[in-house]
């Protein structure tokens, strides 16, 4: 399976991210391009250990099962997957190119990943391998959402 920790995979994602601009439109979902970029930068900051979000109760009940399902094979994440309110961006406008460049910088940081105690707000404690698969799938999901 593809992992964000593999440099060729990161490079491929970065090439796709670079195609995004203020005119990019979504194929599904409620987010515009700025909101999606901001959402993704917040998620990368979480995976990289730069931000911590409390575990949600529903995640304690269903998180491990959902994680196993998401990381068992190459199947992409489904459209309109739910997220925490912490990752729902209310601001509808901002500097798209700056946010895109910030996302690229964060994706590059996976080359130096060091967050062995990572705990996801929904899935709970995750191995580095699981983080690699899920971070790839999440990024791919949003790039497909914006036809990139």
Tens digits of residue pLDDT in 71-116? 999 999 888 787 887 888 888 899 999 999 999 999 999 999 999 8
Q: Residue 61 above 80 pLDDT? A: yes
Predicted TM-score of the model (pTM): 0.93
Mean pLDDT, residues 6-18: 98
| φ and ψ at residue 12, rounded to 5 degrees | -65, -45
Q: What is the pLDDT of residue 60?
A: 86
| 3-state SS, residue 112 | helix
Helix and strand totals (H; E) in the chain:
5, 2
Mean pLDDT, residues 8-36: 96
Mean pLDDT, residues 122-131: 95
The residue ranges of every structural domain in the chain are 7-145
pLDDT band at 19 (very low <50, low <70, confident <90, very high): very high
Q: How far apart are CA 148 and CA 136, in angstroms?
A: 14
Q: What is the mean pLDDT of the chain?
A: 93
């Amino acid at each position: 399976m593809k992992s964000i920790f593999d440099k060729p995979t990161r490079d491929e994602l970065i090439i796709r991210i670079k195609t995004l601009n203020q005119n990019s439109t979504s194929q599904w979902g409620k987010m515009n391009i700025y909101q999606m970029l901001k959402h993704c930068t917040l998620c990368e900051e979480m995976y990289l250990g730069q931000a911590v979000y409390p575990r949600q109760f529903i995640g304690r009940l269903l998180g491990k099962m959902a994680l196993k399902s998401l990381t068992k094979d190459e199947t992409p994440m489904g459209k309109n997957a739910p997220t925490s309110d912490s990752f729902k961006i209310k601001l509808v406008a901002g500097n798209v190119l700056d946010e895109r460049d910030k996302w690229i910088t964060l994706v590059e940081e996976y080359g130096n990943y060091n967050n062995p105690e990572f705990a996801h707000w929904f899935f709970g404690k995750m191995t580095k391998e699981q983080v690699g698969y899920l971070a790839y799938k999440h990024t791919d999901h949003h790039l497909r959402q914006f036809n990139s």
